[in-house]
Amino acid sequence: MKKIIALIVAGLMIAATAACGQTSAPQAPEAPQETTGSGQAEASQEATGEAGEFDAFIDNFTEPVTLDVAMMWPLNSETDAKSFALNTALERLARDYPNITVNYDGSVHDDYQTIMMTRSAANSIPDVYNVKGSWLRNFIANNQIGTVDEFKALDPDWFNSMYDGCMFDMLVDGKHYGVPFQLITCTLVIYNTEIYSSVGYDEFPKTWDELIDCMTKLKDAGYVPIGVGNSGQWVANSTVFGSLGFYGGGIQWFNDIMNRTGNGFMDAGMLNGVDKMYELASLGFFNDNINSIDHNEVISPYLNEQYASYINGSWSLGTLIAVAGDDQSVVDKSGVATLPSFDGAIGPAPAASIGSGWGQAYSASLSPAEKYAAYLLIKYTTDEEWCQSLFEKGDFGAIVGNRDYSQSSPVVQKYVQAYQSWNAGPLYDCHFDPAVIDSMNMNFQDILANNITAEEWGRRVQAEYEIS
Amino acid sequence: MSEHSLIKRTAHAAGSAAVNVFILLFSLFCLFPVYWMLASSVKNDSDFYMNLAGFPQTFRPSNYLAAVNVGRLDIAFVNSAIVSGIAVFLILLISFVMGIVFARYQFKGKGFLYIMFLSGMLIPVHALLIPIFIELRAFSMLNNRFALALVYTVFGLPKGIFLVTAYASTIPREIEEAVFIDGGNIHQLFFKIFMPMCSPVLGTLTILSFLDAWNEFPFSLILMGRPELKTLPIALTYFQGQYFVEYTMMMAGLSIATLPVVIVYFIFHKRIMQGMVAGSVKG
């Protein structure tokens, strides 16, 4: 009896070890992509979309289909724009296609990434899901994602109406693997026009020298010139480096990183941008607790007029308006700008990182009927009606469209007017290898604390880049 | 009273006052997060952001109702109670039996088995997320409350076995001998003699296991993919949007989630204080 028990225990241990051994992280990308660098997606000729596979479903799709869907929005939120738009989209889908059953698993941003990494490693990808641009290569290599170019022929108007910069985030080797569901501008300076006027600036500084002069005067007047909440680490990369890196290195540096050409993270032009971030920090223009508060926590001191301005993405506009509540006085006198360029910059100005970052995707292992149902769900969660639902809650979809902003807050109107005149830079954290992004983010915290120089930052990230 | 004595008493009183003031301040320091959670749970968003640490300027108890609706805390509460209940029961039962066996009996391979159980404490939870996901998927046990409770049980056993073994090894040998001399069997020895004697350590284990199961996050996140099966820690995350957090509702939800833990603690804390085997063997 004892021997039998010992054998069973040994067997279980071997099985457990084997199970551990079978799991693996998503594979590294096989080859670097060719980026156009212009923000214009150039789909390959053969990826124009063939409707043939779906001919049987187009006029009469009644086959019962159940979709396993995972996305990063809970269904019950009362204030989240995406949650509102998703509920509306699912209601439309259920009304138009009662044969489609959606088993929805909603979680929140960070937890969703944990779920997807686990499911990817276990090769158990949902049928339809949110995909991040930086995940695409791994998912493609593991055959866990299908190209959405196949849907283009089913509804070209819908497919072609997406903002180009958003489609670019979903492009790998000439094919699109997701349909963008949002349009975000990452480098947005929200500033108090009254406070800026009080130090002699009726509009946001247009040059770097003006910026330094203005910030110095604001600091001397007792204000925190620019608030940033970088406890999440990604904020400085997305919202500050998004513009400064683009000015410094231009699109050429981005293409070099993607193609593994050039000097990588030791590129002098790009490091010039990092050095500008270091300069702002060393002159004390940011809040002291920059690395310990999150990006939403800058809003309260801004509304209390302790901060003269703050940097965040376009997603913060809705929160700003909501937090202000009944007293919209500070919101109404807020201006919207992006950071100015500097001497030696090679990227076009003014510029901000504009794109989607995320898109709707489907599993590569679906049957034709499931794939058609996935197409419908993806379309319903990215189309004009989706964008209109988002707009009603102060968010922006990837179809710009002609919307009536007259009822929107003045700060939203200023934002819409501003970003359309800016040059669109890429969302670095949507395209670079996740390990490199982690290294960039972690070392940006040291830059903001003035612990390291731009060159040291470059050396550290380069080391990660070379082994990624 | 002499002047010297008066000075001495005054100095003593001042010393006591200083110590008490320090303890009072330390207590306030410890209680502040609880106050902050409760105060924030009845503020509106504007009051919360503009008046982070102050008393509520608004009183909005409807946050609690909204928290239940948004986070589906009612369903999550029941799920957490079921999963935690099953896990605690299994941990107590298995830990008790295994602990007594390890503490009272000698058999071949005992040391190896004991170390094997305890080594479970050394394995980081996150290292097992993917293997357990694959394992449960293979057995079609994803989205299953009992499967989640089993996982919690497995992770709770090393600690439970260690505690019960350590405790049971202090019980005098004479007790077993007395039971057998009086005609008792092994079942009576385990469940009528040892179990009541181990109630202090089982009380401690109940609290620790319940806390672990009630607050566990990663496995619940990965293994329970359907909204109707989510547990409380997962439901509490629903107050975060993609780019913002509904703090006031989250604090109301946290206040609700904290309540059972406090109740369980108050039920069992006296057990921990009780003497271990005082009076069980007459000298």
Average pLDDT (B36-50) is 87
Point out the least confidently predicted range of A15-24, A138-147, A451-460, B113-122: A15-24
Question: Is residue B282 one of the residues assigned to a domain?
Answer: no
Based on the domain organization, do B118 and B27 belong to the same domain? no
Based on the domain organization, do B36 and B69 belong to the same domain? no
Cβ(B193)–Cβ(B184) below 8 Å:
yes
Q: Could you tell me how many CB contacts below 8 A there are between chain A and chain B? A: 120
Contact A300 B240 (CB under 8 A): no
- For residue A321, give the chain B residue with the closest CA: B46
* Enclosing domain of residue B29: 3-40
Cα(A378)–Cα(A368) distance, integer angstroms: 15
Q: Which of A71, A323, A396 is best to mutate for the B interface (most B CBs within 10 A)?
A: A323
Position with higher pLDDT, B35 vs B281? B35
pLDDT over 70 at B60, yes or no: yes
Task: Write out pLDDT tens, residues A365-418.
Answer: 999 999 999 999 999 999 999 999 998 888 899 998 778 888 888 999 999 889
Enumerate the residues of chain A whose CB falls inside 8 A of the CB of residue B229. Answer: none
pLDDT over 50 at A47, yes or no: no
Tokens in use for A60? Answer: 């009469």
pLDDT over 90 at A19, yes or no: no
pLDDT at A50: 52
Task: Write out pLDDT tens, residues A205-249.
Answer: 999 999 999 999 999 999 999 999 998 888 999 999 999 999 999
Q: Where are the alpha helices (DSSP H) in A283-365?
A: 299-303, 316-324, 329-332
**In total, how many domains does chain B have?**
2
Task: Write out pLDDT tens, residues B75-117.
Answer: 999 999 999 999 999 999 999 999 999 999 999 999 999 999 8
Based on the domain organization, do B134 and B238 belong to the same domain? yes
Based on the domain organization, do B158 and B206 belong to the same domain? yes
Average pLDDT (B154-171) is 92
Looking at CA atoms only, how far is residue B20 from chain A in angstroms? 33
Based on the domain organization, do B33 and B76 belong to the same domain? no
Based on the domain organization, do B21 and B149 belong to the same domain? no
Looking at CA atoms only, how far is residue A266 from chain B in angstroms? 32
Whose CA is closest to A134, among A29, A267, A31, A236? Answer: A29
Question: Is residue B54 one of the residues assigned to a domain?
Answer: no
Based on the domain organization, do B173 and B217 belong to the same domain? yes
Q: What is the CATH number of domain A59-183+356-401?
A: 3.40.190.10
pLDDT over 50 at A9, yes or no: no
**Can you give the pTM of this predicted structure?**
0.79
Enumerate the residues of chain A whose CB falls inside 8 A of the CB of residue B240. Answer: 108-109
Span(s) in chain A for CATH 3.40.190.10? 59-183+356-401, 186-352+418-467
Point out the least confidently predicted range of A120-124, A280-284, B17-21, B275-279: B275-279
**Share of residues in chain B with pLDDT > 90 (%):** 51
Task: Write out pLDDT tens, residues A58-111.
Answer: 878 999 999 999 999 888 776 678 888 999 999 999 999 999 999 999 988 888
Based on the domain organization, do B23 and B78 belong to the same domain? no
Q: Which of A4, A7, A319, A330 is best to mutate for the B interface (most B CBs within 10 A)?
A: A319
Cβ(A255)–Cβ(A37) below 8 Å:
yes
Cβ(A158)–Cβ(A379) below 8 Å:
yes
> Which CATH number belongs to the domain containing residue B163 in this structure?
1.10.3720.10
Based on the domain organization, do B176 and B140 belong to the same domain? yes
Report residue A2's pLDDT band, with 50, 70 and 90 as the boundaries.
low
Please provide the average confidence, as pLDDT, over all residues in chain A. Answer: 87
Based on the domain organization, do B74 and B13 belong to the same domain? no
Report residue A151's pLDDT band, with 50, 70 and 90 as the boundaries.
very high
Based on the domain organization, do B26 and B143 belong to the same domain? no
Enumerate the residues of chain B whose CB falls inside 8 A of the CB of residue A106. Answer: 227, 238
Question: Is residue B283 one of the residues assigned to a domain?
Answer: no
Question: Is residue B253 one of the residues assigned to a domain?
Answer: yes
Cα(A201)–Cα(A224) distance, integer angstroms: 16
Going from the C-alpha of B114 to that of each of B87, B111, B118, B119, the distances in angstroms are 21, 5, 6, 9
Average pLDDT (B180-199) is 90
Question: Is residue B224 one of the residues assigned to a domain?
Answer: yes
Contact B52 A23 (CB under 8 A): no
CA A118 to chain centre: 21
Assigned fold of A186-352+418-467: D-Maltodextrin-Binding Protein; domain 2 (3.40.190)
**Model-level ipTM above the cut of 0.85:** no
Report residue A28's pLDDT band, with 50, 70 and 90 as the boundaries.
very low
Question: Is residue B185 one of the residues assigned to a domain?
Answer: yes
Question: Is residue B173 one of the residues assigned to a domain?
Answer: yes
pLDDT over 80 at A34, yes or no: no
Based on the domain organization, do B262 and B138 belong to the same domain? yes
